[in-house]
């Protein structure tokens, strides 16, 4: 079993839908990162959080330390949100999930 | 600021050839790292450095060497390329191991 697991692996949504991507981890962490990778593109950090909730525009990230679970929400999704979303658990080093490939259709 | 830069963007090698992937950052970050990304495997840590003159192995270090002579540069060397090293390589930097990571654009390497 991977130390960091994401679900779903693939997700197709219609423009405007509310999207949730989940991340569960089994290791002790000091923080949880959410990253975005566009097709053929580089990797951009979206959030780093160690408790509670963070919001940036239409993106919201939450974390429950007791349950070792984090979620990334996208409100009013748009085709430009199509990308791979990666969570990474920050312990002694970063441990990455395998990513969730999101496609938002117009 | 240029952020994190990587060269080359693409490279094709023959088995047994050597090469160096370059990584540089202009943010005065102490922590730098190299990852490889393979389909279905996620990102995996190859080597990392917590400051100039200090490097350590990550999860998949075999076949790779690194050095950190300056804060800015963190090159990754493949001594004798193998087809198993075909991958996309990302360099990243941050103030410390517990801060936001900044990634370079990646190098797509194919070993024939």
Per-residue pLDDT of A54-106, as tens digits, reads 999 999 999 999 999 999 999 999 999 999 999 999 987 889 999 999 999 99
pLDDT at residue A1 in the model:
65
pLDDT at residue B97 in the model:
76
Average pLDDT over residues A32-41: 90
Q: A42, B105: Cβ pair inside 8 Å?
A: yes
Would strands B42-51 and A43-49 be described as parallel, antiparallel, or unpaired? unpaired
**Secondary structure class of A33 (helix, strand, coil):** strand
Residue pair B53/B37 in contact (Cβ under 8 Å)? The answer is: no
Q: A2 falls in which pLDDT band (50, 70, 90)?
A: confident
pLDDT at residue B92 in the model:
96
State the burial class of residue A90 (Cβ atoms within 10 Å of its Cβ: 0-12, 13-18, 19+). buried
Residue pair B48/B55 in contact (Cβ under 8 Å)? The answer is: yes
The one-digit pLDDT tens for each residue of chain B (112 residues) are: 789 999 999 999 999 999 999 999 999 999 999 999 998 788 999 999 999 999 999 999 999 999 999 999 999 999 999 999 999 999 999 998 788 899 999 999 999 9
Tokens representing residue B44 in the block: 């995996």
Q: What is the DSSP string of A61-89?
A: EEEETTTTEEEEEESS--GGG-EEEEEEE
Q: A48, B90: Cβ pair inside 8 Å?
A: no
Residue in chain A nearest B107 by alpha carbon: A42
Q: How far apart are CA A21 and CA A77, in angstroms?
A: 13
Tokens representing residue A75 in the block: 């409100």
Q: B101, A97: Cβ pair inside 8 Å?
A: no
Q: Which one of B6, B59, B98, B104 makes the best mutation probe of the A interface by having the most chain A beta carbons within 10 Å? A: B98
Q: Quote the minimal CA–CA distance from A14 to chain B in Å.
A: 25
């Amino acid at each position: 079993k991977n130390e960091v697991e994401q679900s779903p692996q693939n997700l197709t949504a219609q423009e405007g839908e509310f999207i949730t991507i989940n991340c569960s981890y089994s290791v002790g962490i000091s923080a949880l990162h959410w990253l975005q990778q566009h097709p053929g593109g580089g990797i951009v950090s979206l959030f780093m959080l160690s408790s509670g909730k963070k919001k940036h525009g239409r993106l919201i990230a939450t974390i429950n330390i007791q349950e070792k679970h984090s979620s990334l929400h996208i409100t009013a999704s748009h085709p430009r949100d199509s990308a791979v979303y990666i969570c990474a658990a920050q312990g002694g080093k970063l441990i990455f999930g395998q990513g969730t490939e999101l496609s938002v259709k117009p | 600021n240029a952020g994190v830069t990587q060269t080359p963007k693409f490279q094709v090698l023959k088995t047994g050839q050597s090469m160096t992937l370059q990584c540089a950052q202009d943010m005065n970050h102490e922590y730098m790292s190299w990852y490889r990304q393979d389909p279905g495997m996620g990102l995996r840590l190859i080597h990392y450095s917590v400051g100039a003159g200090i490097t350590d192995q990550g999860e998949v270090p075999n076949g790779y060497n690194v050095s950190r002579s300056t804060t800015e540069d963190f090159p990754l060397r493949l001594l004798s390329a193998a087809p198993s090293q075909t991958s996309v390589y990302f360099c990243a930097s941050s103030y410390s191991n517990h801060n936001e990571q900044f990634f370079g654009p990646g190098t797509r390497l194919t070993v024939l």
